[in-house]
Structure 1
Amino acid sequence: MNGLKRYSSNLFYSAGFLLAALLAGCGGGDQGRDPILGLPAADLTSVAVTPATSSVAIGNTQQLVATATFADGSTRDITAVSVWTSAAPGIATVNGMTGLATGVASGTAAMTASFRSKTGSANVTVLPPALVSIALTPVNPTVNIGASLQLVVTGTYSDKTTADLTNVSTYVSASPAIASVNSTTGMSKGLSGGSAVITASYATQSATTIITVPAAPVTPPATLSSITVTPANASILVGATQAYTATATYSDNSTVNITQSAIWASGNTAVASVNSTGLATGVSAGATMISATSGTKSGSANLIVTVPVNPPASGINLGTATTFGVLAGTSITNNAGGTTLVTGDVGSPSQTTDPVQAAGFTNYKSGAVLTNALADLQTAITDANSRTCDVNSAAGIDLGGLTLTPGVYCYAGAISITGTFTMSGPGLYLFRSSSTLNTTANSIVALTNGATYDSVFWVPVGATTLGANSVFKGTIMGKAAAITLGDGASLLNGRVLTGAAATLRNNKITK
């Protein structure tokens, strides 16, 4: 019996030591450890961002690195746990979670990494677009003996724009006895039967095409004689669109619709832009030429853009919903793995994880304050939908690249934003859509020349989705449709207000 007692006692003490060791390994004694890095705590002395200065072309990226230095002399890479911001997102944006900067427009922007109570910064200078590649056309053509063919070089830059580089490129033929090429103009000529590789070079880029010269003459195809753009004359309001058609006429009098393959351009992009399918959008008051080009031929049409005739309407009264940064009638889904900061009141009867709020604001989950705010939101939406449209389009619109003045803009289709959209001048900006509101990743909404975020209202009938790391401004009001903010999207000057559900993920919202 005594042996059994001694055995039981030893077993008890062994189990106690094992339990203590397990508790220590699982963090039972983790006081004094860094809660983010999981390392012994030491006073944070500074945060540095590297490279301190860097340059990127428009459309290219630069990875920034944040390093923390502690009082004991140790350093840690804190890039992934810092909060990144750009002082000038119109020049360069930065992913708020990873520190990846992207060039937007020429200039210099300060990038800041914040960790605990310390910050560090670096300057990113955005240079003009860099040449990414060149293309040599036509691709693998056939040229009869004695016939000539003009080769064309098109350059593509880091911001996705293109340029004709034909007259600044150099050319060489690998078989000049079969097909020759002028070294500076790109004019080639068939000399004898066979194939010749022609190489065009510009800067550090090169491209090739193979010219085949038949031993016997080949009946030449019909050549392009002219291009006609219709309608020849058109007038639209700022923010409205006009579809153009390009028709090619050939040497045999045949015609072909080349709207989808032509290269479209606006003579004055400050007045109107035009996309790759010939759809022009009014940007500001004035006149411009819309042209379509194929090969060496082009045609054009006149476009006049006018401003809305109605004066700017008065603002939208949000009532008691004014104090809310986020308000949802059914639920708020907030990611638990990151941090969403709201500078304003928060309200919804169901919340998965309460967003972090700045000091002085309240989270309402029931009661009269929440009920009245949701009712005032619906009243404000009714007011917004009753306003007379200055621009009324039967289609949707991509506002990216546009600059609009105050007014009420109504679209039957979806409103989207790709790139940067600018509002210029004081007054009410009201955007209504019978469909959805969507922005792409890294898109930017900018305010200039006295435009203020509290006079900007977005009222889509359908759902709203803001792209990851996008920068949005203004108050989004959803009557009965959900609002979703992508990872890292920010409304540093705006509100998320809906009678339905709101989904948040690592966002910064300031009413």
Structure 2
Amino acid sequence: MNIFKRYMTPLLVSAGLLAMAALAGCGGGGDQGREPILGLPGATLSSLAITPATATVAIGAGQQFTAIATYSDGSSQDVSAKAAWTSATPAAATVNASSGVAAGVTAGNSNITATFGGKSAAAQLTVSPATLTAIAITPLTPSIAVGGTQQFAVSGSFSDGATRDVTAVSVFASASPATASMDAGGLALGKIAGTAQITATTGTLTASTVLTVTPAVLLSIAVTPQNPTVLIAATRQLAVIATYSDSSTADVTSGSTFVSATPASSSVASGGLVTGVSAGTSVMTASFSGKTAGTTVTVPAATLVSIAVTPGTASIAVGGVQQFVATATYSDNSNAIITNSAIWTSGTVANAAVLNTGIATGIAAGTSSITATAAGQSGSALLTVTSVAIPPVINPINLGRAAPFGVLAGTSITNNSGGTTLITGDVGSPSQTVDPTQAAGFNNYKSGAILAGAMTDLQAAITDGNSRICDVTFAGGIDLGGQTFGPGVYCYAGAISITGTLTLNGPGVYIFRTALTLNSTVNSVVALNNGATADNVTWLPVGPTTLAANSVFKGNILGQSAAITVGDNTTLLNGRVLTAAAVTLRNNQITK
């Protein structure tokens, strides 16, 4: 390896010799005025030494000198980058004033001196009369992936028959910097797939090679969440996130295979949905494109004692659908939604059919008992099928004067400078670090009656949402990922998280309330099916909301007094971010 490449600045050659002006050869400057780096407290600088003490280079070649400081406590330190370097005879050899890299100019000798902390030391450099006759760049046929790097080196052939490393005194260039960029030390970075000619110039001599940049390669995968707890008959969606050589990430859950080490404790479906079977632990291993990762699932010893199916009564027209939710209660008084793992049956199949996801369909006018069964327990709800559609019972939440806003913050909006945030809707906040970019026809309010009115109506909407009667009440938190929900009011005492995909199925109003936080994981999705609309989806967290990077979120987030953070490249297509506190944005697309 070339010992000069990370210190030497490029030099130009004129008339076959290297003009070392770029090295600031004989000038002063440097760092002798700075405080020395001390060893232990109270230690002082005792001496300074240069290595090597003597060296010989050819004309056009370089030599790295190193300055070593020794302190009164016996410690020593490399201070080459902090010392001031000078050449006594710059006509023979120059030295970079701040790095200690010397280069031969003409045959002769020069003392190279380093000064640091009031101490000085010198080394002797001899420049032989040999001249540079040819150069070669290596490697000859390099290939890297997008995001990868390649270090190039240049070797020089001299008139005395010697071959030396001249990387430090070479100038590098990429003919296609969009494909691969080059730094001054000869390090290439792959940016996009393709080829780029890499050229090294040393004096008047040049050498080149072609660098091939291949598509980004998979470096690793990770399973999330790590070490989850899943109750008996409950489910938890696992997600697999891939990281590539260009630092990008992608959700590869659908293309991964999953294996449970102990399926008697917890099983896992092909899509990564884990089901608790019996008390114990099991390692879940995911595999994707030759990479593996795992997580440990724990199933507590609590037993399932009852199942409740909600809504308890429902009515749909012939051909209509109704999403039922099965909630299990356990011996430790905990709860879990087991909709996806329960066995669903219809008591009168001539009137209604039910899928294994809890979605019932009206067949003919009449009634049917819809039953969910798991771990020896059952719960039922009554479904009435009519020949005429029944309008939804729950009215949408009225946002009033807050409705025109895509982003509304009572205290401040922090938006990244130079990003790609685009708000299709009004924006309002008294303090904005960088005004978010807005689609044409919308306004940004920082004060005045319109902003004040929107904040007032936001609080009224939050009060309305919190007053709705809960269809499902949960004593703890929940991960909604991998679940399917029908219209209703869902209330949780713990945090709401979304890992993977949450599906909202069917027309009507959806209200999700949590006494704690609302969080989504990287690449999570809120999906709307069979007539569900984002305007009728409301999220009411008491605590802060954090949407992770690259998420696709739907619905209106209404924060009473807690901050909302929208992760990098997260989109809220048909949704709003409204809070009396602060909002943080980063490269987000938000359409009200």
Q: TM-score, normalised by structure 1?
A: 0.50
Q: Which structure has the larger Rg?
A: 2
